[in-house]
Amino acid sequence: MASVSESFGWFVFNVAIPLLAPFALLPFAKVAVFSRARGNGIVRRSIQDGQLLWAAIPLSASACYGLACWIDQADGARLGAWILLGFHVLLIVACSVLVLLGAMDAYPRSRRNPLEANRILRSSVFLSCMSGGASALAHMGWIANAS
């Protein structure tokens, strides 16, 4: 089995950075004097239309590839890997549909009340966390069974 530091390193570089890197430069938007007024609520605006899902889709696709390789090379029971593979395919489909709906709803929402509940925002955060967690679970299971 992989060591804790190796597993943590994999998680940081393959899950945490792709999901959190888009937020890394957002605080710098408030530095410039001309954009301070527009900087309020920048984190919410940057993900409100499902943009975070663009990071979740490749995470699940990468997990699908890893699981498919493991299924191809493994001996014995593979039911858990097939279930995780199917779950990742469902996540990819759900994320893709939400990206489409977020893009279609972005302009009409910009003309409505900005404090209105945004289901796409909450769903995108939830699905992105699910994708990251399931990717880590698939990788840890694959590593544990590969060694």
- The helix/strand/coil state of 48 is coil
In this prediction, residues 60-64 reach a mean pLDDT of: 89
CA 26 to chain centroid: 18
Residue 118 pLDDT exceeds 80 = no
Gap between the Cα atoms of 91 and 96, Å rounded: 8
Where is pLDDT greater, at 116 or 53? Answer: 53
Top-confidence residue, 15 or 119: 15
Residue from 71, 102, 91, 100 nearest 133 by CA: 91
Name residue, tokens 């858990």: 80
Quick one: pLDDT at residue 103?
A: 78
Q: What does the domain layout of the chain look like in residue ranges?
A: 4-146
